[in-house]
Structure formats: C-alpha cells, structure tokens
C-alpha cells in the first residue's frame, strides 16, 4: 500500500472513449485491467466521468456549419468541437464495464454545464471554476497524485497540469493512458506537462 498522502485519479475510462465509442481512443480498453490492478495500492481513489447534457457546447452538432475536430472560439478561449459523447445517462457515458469502480472513494463528474467544457478534474475550461476535487484531496491529507486514463492529451493532460499548478506532486503513468493525438496534441501535451513539473512515468 502506498502512503496515506497519495491518491490515484482515474480519468474518464468510459465507453465513448473506448473502441466502438463515439469518441474512441485507440487502445482505450487495453488500460482497464492494469488500472484495476493498480488502484487498490492507493489509500485514496478518485475516478472521473465526462458527463455532458445533450446539446453541450463542446459538441460540433451544437454549432451549425462546424465539423467535429475543428476549433471554435468560446468566451473562455479556443475549444475543440467533438462528436457528441458522454451524454448524461447514456451507455457511452458509463464506465467501461470491466473497470472496477468498487474501488472508487469519490467519482467526480465534469462538463455538466452546457455552456462550458471541462477537461480537467480540477477546473472547468475557463481555468477558474473549481470542481471541488482540490478541497477533497487536501482535506484527506493528499499532496501526491498519480494519474491514469483517457485521453493522455486532453483530460489527463489538463488534470495533471492543474494538479501541478495547485502544488500537488504529480505523476502520469503514460503506459496506463491512451491519446487522441489531434494535430500534434500529444507531443504538445507531453511538453506542457513536463514544463509544469509533472513526472511522466
């Protein structure tokens, strides 16, 4: 067992990010078994779930004439438009059926406001509106976090960089993540994480 100050954060291991899903990440399902094996080593276990209302502003279908995987300017900054995914209550939004969520102490849902996306487990994409996870971790005495899940270059990356900026010691286990890799987003994410002081293991 890891020491009491260490948490694992399992990011968005949901059907829509696995093969066959609406925003499938190649090999997304390969990480499920090793994540199940790793989670019990940690005294604090947080899982996140991307959780969007139908008609969410990050969906290309909400913007006439815009295609998925293109950019749009939102009031809070540039935003990638995605295929409809992880719609609240849908099968695509459910955790991968083999993911052992019995281990979860806390499940954080994010992206549930129509007008703003939330990649990070800590802040929405305005980098300002908190999810409450920082307070949860601190009140449980956590100062060190390990991140795994989907997708390396979006939700794992944003969560890792925010955690590091908040002063947590952060490790991303890359072999337990898979990337979308849109226009060099994986290389940019790796550089950004290293720059923020995140350890890529």
What does 168 interact with, of ligand VGL, Zn ion, none (CB < 5 to 8 A by kind)? Answer: none
150 binds, among Zn ion, ligand VGL, none (CB under 5 to 8 A by kind): ligand VGL
Answer yes or no: are the C-beta atoms of 160 and 192 closer than 8 Å: no
Binding mask 10-49 for ligand VGL (x = CB under 6 A): --x----x--------------------------------
What is the rounded (10 degree) CA torsion for 179, 184, 189, 194? 120
- The answer to whether 155 is a known catalytic residue is yes
* CA 44 – CA 181 distance, rounded (Å): 30
Q: Is 179 exposed, middle or buried (0-12, 13-18, 19+ CB in 10 A)?
A: buried
Residues that bind Zn ion (CB under 5 A): 50
Residue 98 annotated to the active site: no
Q: Among residues 16, 29, 86, 110, which one is catalytic? A: 110
Residue 38 or 150 with smaller CB distance to ligand VGL: 150
* Binding segment (CB under 6 A) for ligand VGL, from list 89-97, 132-140, 150-158, 166-174: 150-158
> Contact 42/6 with Cβ under 8 angstroms?
yes
């Amino acid at each position: 067992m890891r020491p009491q100050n260490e948490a694992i954060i399992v990011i968005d291991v949901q059907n829509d990010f696995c093969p066959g899903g609406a925003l499938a990440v190649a090999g997304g399902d390969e990480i499920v078994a090793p994540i199940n094996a790793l989670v019990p080593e940690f005294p604090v276990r947080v899982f996140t779930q991307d959780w969007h209302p139908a008609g969410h502003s990050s969906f290309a279908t909400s913007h006439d004439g815009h295609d998925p995987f293109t950019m749009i300017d939102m009031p809070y900054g540039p935003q990638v438009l995605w295929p409809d995914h992880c719609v609240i209550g849908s099968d695509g939004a459910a955790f991968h059926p083999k993911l052992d969520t019995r281990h979860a102490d806390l499940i954080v849902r994010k992206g549930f406001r129509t007008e703003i996306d939330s990649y990070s487990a800590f802040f929405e994409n305005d980098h300002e509106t908190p999810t409450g996870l920082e307070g949860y971790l601190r009140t449980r005495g956590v100062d060190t976090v390990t991140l795994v899940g989907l997708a390396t270059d979006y939700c794992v990356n944003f969560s890792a960089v925010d955690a590091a900026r908040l002063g947590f010691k952060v490790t991303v286990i890359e072999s337990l993540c898979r990337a979308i890799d849109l226009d060099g987003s994986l290389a940019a994410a790796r550089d950004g994480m290293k720059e923020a002081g995140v350890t890529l293991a």
